[in-house]
Amino acid sequence: QVQLVESGGGLVQAGGSLRLACAASGRTSNSYHMGWFRQAPGKDRELVAAISWGGAATSYADSVKGRFSISRDKNTVYLQMNSLLPEDTAVYSCAAGTNWLTTWRYWGQGTQVTVSS
């Protein structure tokens, strides 16, 4: 079992920045890739960014390329969000997967990000 806990969400004005963090505990010795998902009101959950177990490979949704950056350090994964837009408002959740961009096994509880215009 792996437990994931997100932090760093909040209210920010358009153009501002936030950094989300996801701390993993439990059976973290296994090789997991990590991802950040978001779900906005009335929309399906979407993958925002992902990073490989070793941290060398990353993937971003087209809507956040150039604005968001994912990184990891041991058992913590971060999502640096810059130039935030009202469209970025959503509940952001981190996840741990066993197959690149396909299989997501563990999920955090989510943290709310609200961007005001």
* Dihedral sign of CA atoms 3, 11, 87, 52 in order: negative
CA distance 31 to 29: 7
| Residue-wise pLDDT tens digits, 13-70 | 999 999 999 999 987 766 889 999 999 999 999 999 999 988 899 999 999 999 999 9
What's 102's DSSP letter?
A: T
Two structure tokens written together for 79: 């999502």
CA distance 48 to 97: 14
Distances (CA, A) of 23 to 30, 31, 83, 101: 15, 15, 24, 20
Percent of the chain predicted with pLDDT > 90: 81
Q: Determine contact, residues 5/109, Cβ cutoff 8 Å.
A: yes
* 109: Cβ contacts below 8 Å, ≥ 6 apart: 5, 6, 93
Two structure tokens written together for 57: 């490979």
- Structure confidence at residue 29 (pLDDT): 65
Q: Which amino acid is at 31?
A: S
CA distance 86 to 102: 28
